[in-house]
């Protein structure tokens, strides 16, 4: 009894000591603040533990023992949000997608993903929407938990676990009909199997459901729709009932149309979208994640020398479809399909968005407040605003006048913890 009482006594007072830990305050003093919507001057930002306590002019009393960080010549921004990532992939010019899925062990792929997560965070991206492990099953769930527990550094993860594909449409593929290869996504054959798979992935820890509304399975390997509108609607109804969105890989006008009408929240890629389809997206409130950098990277892997060689047809067509989306006033998310190219080079997508026709300020919004709103996290991240989480970065110069300044990362804070200064 005495021993038990002693243990309880120690636990009680240990709890009191933890509860009495003093609050930690950090004051950030930059030249300017992009608050997620517009550029502000004369602002300072006060952090209290893991949240933003104040943001605006210095009209408040500074708490005792506040750590002050001077950021002269710098711009403060909300932590950037990568909208389309695959942390379990690495660039295809290093190892082909097929060989990553078939020949790299899941232990190796997880080890790589840990490094990719750290590189992403150090590049100023404090949140990623990771859209499929591509054969690594549900290992993104474990990585997400390890980051949350502080086991390894990395961004907040919004995860899809396994993408869902129609049976017989995805890969890897064998030249022999007698050989069955492991697949890079979960295969379903009908609405009932779709229903079961969505429930399974939610049970495993998915924050959202990703489906392939079309893929390169046509008679001559051309892209064609894979699911009926009704099958996609089945996925949306189940996911939405648990307050989870469905996102759709779609590059053909018909695949996009089916996904839009079924109620998905975002279209990923949209390479061959028409003005009519983009107007439908605008009408239905569906956002576009254009992944410009992935197509650019793949063409360079095939030998295209950017700025030297003539522009490949796929790049020209991608520019045109992106500009049609802008013309239709579609909500544009920032997401580059990073993993096709190197993790930590996420800002490559932002630079191409400007090159293809967006204003730098609109690109900054896409990478912060717009992504947060579209993904359902606007009450936590995406803005520098009192009460939101302390995910904040600082860059040298002004990225609203030159988007390349977004690469000049000088400070990274996630959840109130300084990871880079």
What digits encode the pLDDT tens for the residues 116-157? Answer: 999 999 999 999 999 999 999 999 999 999 999 999 999 999
Residues 263 and 364 in one domain: yes
What kind and span of H or E run contains 412?
strand 409-414
pLDDT of residue 370: 98
Q: What's the mean per-residue pLDDT of the chain?
A: 95
- Asked if residue 12 belongs to a domain, the reply is no
- CATH number for the domain spanning 396: value is 2.30.40.10
H helices of 346-393, in order, are 347-355, 360-365, 371-375
Q: Between these two residues, 212 and 60, which has the higher pLDDT value?
A: 212
Least confident of 1-15, 42-56, 162-176, 218-232: 1-15
pLDDT at 191: 96
* Rounded Cα gap, residues 90 and 203, in angstroms: 27
- Report whether 155 contacts 143 (CB < 8 A): no
Query: pLDDT at position 20, please?
Result: 72
Distance of CA 388 to CAs 26, 49, 384, Å? 15, 11, 7
Residue 15 lies in a domain: no
Query: What is the rounded CA–CA span in Å between residue 34 and residue 383?
Result: 8
Range of the structural domain that residue 403 is part of: 22-78+384-420
Residues 214 and 247 in one domain: yes
In a domain, 8, yes or no: no
| Distance separating alpha carbons of residues 170 and 316, to the nearest angstrom | 26
pLDDT at 102: 97
Residue 244: is its pLDDT beyond 60? Answer: yes
CA pair distance 381, 373, nearest whole angstrom: 9
Q: Are residues 147 and 281 in the same domain?
A: yes
pLDDT, residue 60, reads 84
pLDDT in tens, 274-322: 999 999 999 999 999 999 999 999 999 999 999 899 999 999 999 999 9
Instruction: Identify the residue whose tokens are 């920032």.
Output: 334
Under the banding of pLDDT at 50, 70 and 90, the label for residue 58 is confident
Q: What is the pLDDT of residue 91?
A: 98
* Residue 136: φ, ψ to 5°: -95, 25
The tokens describing 156, both together, are 């907040």
Question: Tokens 């060989």 identify what position?
Answer: 99
* pLDDT tens-digit map of 193-228: 999 999 999 999 999 999 999 999 999 999 999 999
Same domain, yes or no: 140 and 56: no
In 123-206, which ranges are continuous DSSP H helix? Answer: 139-148, 191-204
Q: Count of domains in the chain?
A: 2
Regarding whether 360 and 390 lie in a shared domain, the answer is no
Q: What sign does the CA torsion over 134, 208, 314, 223 have? A: positive
117 assigned to some structural domain: yes
pLDDT higher than threshold 60 for residue 2 = no
Question: Strand pairing partners for 394?
Answer: 76, 411
* Confidence grade of residue 408 (pLDDT, cut at 50, 70, 90): very high
The percent of residues in the chain predicted with pLDDT above 90, rounded, is 93
Is residue 74 domain-shared with residue 85, that is, in the same domain? no
- Largest pairwise CA distance in the chain: 83
Half-sphere exposure of 289 (CA within 13 A, CB side): 28
| pLDDT in the model for residue 292 | 98
């Amino acid at each position: 009894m005495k021993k038990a009482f002693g243990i309880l006594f120690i636990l009680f007072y240990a709890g009191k000591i933890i509860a009495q830990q003093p609050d930690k305050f950090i004051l950030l003093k930059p030249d300017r603040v992009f608050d997620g919507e517009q550029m502000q001057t004369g602002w300072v930002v006060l952090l209290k533990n893991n949240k933003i306590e104040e943001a605006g002019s210095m009209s408040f009393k500074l708490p005792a023992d506040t750590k002050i960080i001077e950021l002269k010549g710098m711009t403060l921004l909300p932590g950037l949000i990568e909208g389309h990532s695959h942390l379990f992939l690495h660039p295809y010019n290093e190892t082909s997608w097929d060989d990553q899925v078939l020949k790299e062990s899941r232990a190796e792929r997880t080890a790589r993903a840990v490094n990719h997560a750290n590189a992403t965070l150090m590049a100023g991206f404090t949140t990623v929407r990771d859209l499929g492990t591509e054969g690594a099953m549900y290992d993104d769930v474990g990585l997400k938990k390890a980051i949350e527990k502080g086991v390894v550094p990395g961004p907040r993860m919004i995860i899809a676990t396994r993408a869902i594909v129609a049976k017989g449409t995805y890969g890897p593929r064998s030249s022999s009909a007698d050989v069955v290869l492991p697949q890079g996504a979960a295969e379903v054959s009908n609405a009932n199997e779709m229903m079961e798979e969505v429930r399974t992935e939610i049970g495993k820890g998915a924050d959202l459901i990703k489906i392939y509304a079309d893929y390169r399975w046509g008679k001559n390997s051309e892209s064609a729709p894979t699911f009926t509108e009704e099958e996609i609607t089945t996925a949306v109804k189940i996911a939405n009932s648990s307050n989870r969105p469905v996102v759709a890989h779609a590059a053909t006008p018909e695949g996009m149309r089916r996904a839009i009408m079924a109620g998905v929240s975002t279209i990923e890629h949209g390479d061959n979208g028409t003005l009519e389809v983009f107007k439908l997206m605008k009408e239905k409130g569906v956002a576009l994640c254009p992944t410009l950098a992935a197509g650019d990277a793949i063409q360079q892997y095939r030998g295209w020398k950017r700025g030297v060689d003539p522009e490949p047809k796929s790049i020209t067509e991608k520019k045109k479809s992106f500009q049609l989306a802008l013309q239709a006033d579609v909500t544009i998310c920032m997401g580059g399909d990073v993993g096709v190219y190197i993790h930590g080079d996420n800002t490559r997508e932002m630079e191409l968005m400007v090159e293809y026709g967006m204003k730098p300020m609109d690109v900054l919004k896409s990478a912060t407040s717009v992504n947060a709103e579209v993904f359902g996290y606007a009450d936590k991240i995406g803005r520098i605003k009192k009460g939101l989480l302390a995910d904040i970065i600082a860059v040298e110069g002004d990225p609203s006048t030159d988007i390349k300044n977004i690469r000049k990362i000088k400070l990274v804070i996630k959840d109130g913890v300084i990871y880079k200064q």
